Structure 1
């Protein structure tokens, strides 16, 4: 599954969430791990934040948590 040119941890980052957009409250949350900061490019009436937003995601939508409550990014 993992390519030999990358470390397994780098591959896992490919599947981790990096953006959460709350259209109702006009908030963009970013955890994008690169120098480009999406939160700096939101419209004037929006709020852009660089922070861990995973606590805002319902457990049923956390595809990285398995049926035994294991975080697949931590394995």
Structure 2
């Protein structure tokens, strides 16, 4: 458990400015996973702490650790 906490802290420190986007995500917003473009566009279902549940077009419901992954917020026009 301490190892996981260390990795989360390290990821947050290395990626702090991008993590700010995850902090403002709300249900209904459209996002993309930065490393999984084949998942398509996803709609945020819930945000509880760093746990972000997203329903992706091609991958279905996925729970993302927002401390490790910074989702890309998209607008309807960028879709």
**Fold match, TM over 0.5?**
no
Task: Indicate the structure with greater helix content.
Answer: 2
Task: Indicate the structure with greater strand content.
Answer: 2
Output the TM-score relative to the length of structure 1: 0.27
